[in-house]
Amino acid sequence: MRDTKFLWWKKEVIYQIYPRSFKDSDGDGIGDLKGIQQKLDYLQDLGVKGIWISPIFPSPMADFGYDVSDYTGIHPMFGNMEDFDELLDSIHQRGMKCILDLVPNHSSDQHPWFLESKESKDNPKRDWYIWKDPDEDGGPPNNWMSVFGGSAWEFDENTGQYYYHAFLKEQPDLNWRNPEVQKAVFDAMRFWLKKGVDGFRVDVMWHMIKDEHFRDNPPNPDYTEEMSTFNKVIPAYSTDQDEVHDMVEKMRNVIDEFDERLLIGEIYLPIHKLVKYYGLENNGAHLPFNFQLLELPWDPEKINAAINEYEGALPEDGWPNWVLGNHDKSRIASRVGKEQARIAAMMLLTLRGTPTVYYGDELGMEDVDIPEDKIQDPQALNEPGVGRSRDPERTPMQWDDSENAGFTNGEPWLPISENYKEQNVKIQWDEEGSMLKLHRKLLQIRAKEPALHVGEYIPVFTDKDLLSYIREYEDQKFLIILNLGASKLNFAPDFDWSGTVKVATDHTLEGKELSNEIKIAGNLGLLIKLT
């Protein structure tokens, strides 16, 4: 059997680009493909390998590209197919990989498929979407709620039926029980795979199949008025249905028609449900995104438990992965503070499993307050007050201290953080002690040392507020000690050890020889090569 231990997506680091906010090349204030092209050297020098680009397809942009109106095109705002081909080629020339977003659960309501589907009840594409008669009182067919607020059902006057949309009403859900839908999306996947795209991050994978009988979801006993109306019910019948795994397997088969391509699933579920997405025979997603570090409170005991619960729950050949930030969640530096964000970075890049870095987190970018009249995110606009805006974590990348942080010559689509003059790539690149320099060092050593990319994970239990573990490959061992709090703690494991600090969140400690019982200052993280 082929040795799969060193597959690129196991060894390497993935970097998420939110294309609207990465780099604008044409002055319209919105990032684009040519912009990404201009910054490939940066990404290569940084040391990340897999570039995941959030949707770049034609779209009315009701949900900023997560409402696709053509699965095999490029939105003119981002460029054209030539620009894409050139970008893909340049990525490959650098030995890097390109992962696209795939949004199969729903299309745009402006997709020709939906325009046809809503034409009449007997249109051949009627069954491509989820249409239902009203209930006896003329209301929605059941109590399912939209993630973005209100009922998930929208009435269509013309044909007298409702259609289901898990997100915006401009994002009707495709009917994945229909084989024609499956084929249409699989063909779109093949279109990109044939071009050489290295894989997909599949949007809301756990939503793809709904209960066959459309049973009402159970009321959520913990619902309170401050929550989004989505939380009124528990999505027991509208998400994570068993048959979804057949769909994932089919997608995986498409991926496997090509060499070494990657299937990532976006899945927000508890660990025991999440790991099922690897597939029973490892024929599911290669990497069902693990969002625990995004979801858990920053509490060492909870994080420690979760890491080990995850390690324990993984199927035999299931490769772990870790995510610290994305375009839907508050930035790590804002969630846990600047100091702890450094600890988090060290954790992300030393735990066992493929890390995904969200653009800008390598600079310690923070959420940016967006004035009310500038809010763009439909999640916030749809449910003012309770729907959390995702704009703060989507602000433009901070390249340098020139006007608009070097992101655009025009008016940026979202405000740029006020701190960009101090917090930017140009200043941080070589600056000892900067967040970027810390990332560069961690990425470098991670790439060089098999113990840190494919090595075993061995937990070390000491003080409950310290997180520590060993990564081991053949005779190479690294000890990682992370203080998740602000007070000094004692590290005294029940074994003898000695080693050299290779990377520290306090860079003045690098090169130090340490052994056995030591004090760990608050907010300190150490990566130690054991001797």
Active-site residue list = 203, 266
- Residue 204 CB, shortest distance to ligand GLC, in Å, is 5
Binders of ligand GLC in range 243-272 (CB under 6 A): 266
32 binds, options ligand GLC, Mg ion, none, Cβ within 5 to 8 A by partner type: Mg ion
- Residue 6 CB, shortest distance to ligand GLC, in Å, is 30
Please count the other Cβ atoms lying within 10 Å of the Cβ belonging to residue 382. Answer: 19
Pick the closer one to ligand GLC by CB: 17 or 524.
Answer: 17
The tokens describing 172, both together, are: 């009707």
By the rule CB under 6 A, 164 interacts with ligand GLC: no
By the rule CB under 5 A, 34 interacts with Mg ion: no
Binding marks (x or -) toward ligand GLC, 89..108, rule CB under 6 A?
Answer: --------------x-----
Pick the closer one to Mg ion by CB: 28 or 311.
Answer: 28
72 within 8 A of 84, measured Cβ to Cβ: no
70 binds, options ligand GLC, Mg ion, none, Cβ within 5 to 8 A by partner type: none
Q: According to CB under 5 A, which one of 8, 28, 282, 409 is a site residue for Mg ion?
A: 28
- Residue 443 CB, shortest distance to ligand GLC, in Å, is 25
3-state per-residue secondary structure call for 2-27: CCCCCCHHHHCCEEEECHHHCCCCCC
Say how far apart CA 51 and CA 18 lie, in whole Å: 10
Pick the closer one to ligand GLC by CB: 12 or 101.
Answer: 101
Q: What share of the chain is helix, strand, coil (3-state, %, to 5)?
A: 30, 20, 50
H helical segments located in 29-140: 33-38, 40-46, 81-93, 112-117
66 binds, options ligand GLC, Mg ion, none, Cβ within 5 to 8 A by partner type: ligand GLC
By the rule CB under 5 A, 26 interacts with Mg ion: yes
Pick the closer one to Mg ion by CB: 30 or 333.
Answer: 30
24 binds, options ligand GLC, Mg ion, none, Cβ within 5 to 8 A by partner type: Mg ion
The tokens describing 205, both together, are: 């994978």
Q: According to CB under 5 A, which one of 32, 101, 377, 383 is a site residue for Mg ion?
A: 32
By the rule CB under 6 A, 167 interacts with ligand GLC: yes
The tokens describing 231, both together, are: 């939380």
By the rule CB under 5 A, 24 interacts with Mg ion: yes
Say how far apart CA 447 and CA 13 lie, in whole Å: 9
By the rule CB under 5 A, 33 interacts with Mg ion: no
By the rule CB under 5 A, 328 interacts with Mg ion: no
What is the β-pairing status of strands 50-53 and 14-17?
A: parallel
By the rule CB under 6 A, 328 interacts with ligand GLC: yes
Q: According to CB under 6 A, which one of 63, 240, 383, 449 is a site residue for ligand GLC?
A: 63
DSSP string, 442-462: HHHHHHH-HHHHT-EEEEE--
- Residue 497 CB, shortest distance to ligand GLC, in Å, is 42
By the rule CB under 5 A, 324 interacts with Mg ion: no
The tokens describing 68, both together, are: 């696709």
The alpha carbon torsion through 493, 497, 503, 506 (nearest 10 deg) reads 50
By the rule CB under 6 A, 170 interacts with ligand GLC: no
By the rule CB under 6 A, 204 interacts with ligand GLC: yes
Q: How many CA atoms, within 13 angstroms, populate the side-chain half-sphere of residue 67?
A: 19
Q: How many CA atoms, within 13 angstroms, populate the side-chain half-sphere of residue 106?
A: 27
Pick the closer one to ligand GLC by CB: 167 or 413.
Answer: 167
Say how far apart CA 355 and CA 10 lie, in whole Å: 9
Which of 374, 326, 350, 339 shows the shortest CA–CA distance to 459? Answer: 350
366 binds, options Mg ion, ligand GLC, none, Cβ within 5 to 8 A by partner type: none
Contacts with ligand GLC, residue ranges (CB under 6 A): 63, 66, 103, 167, 203-204, 266, 327-328
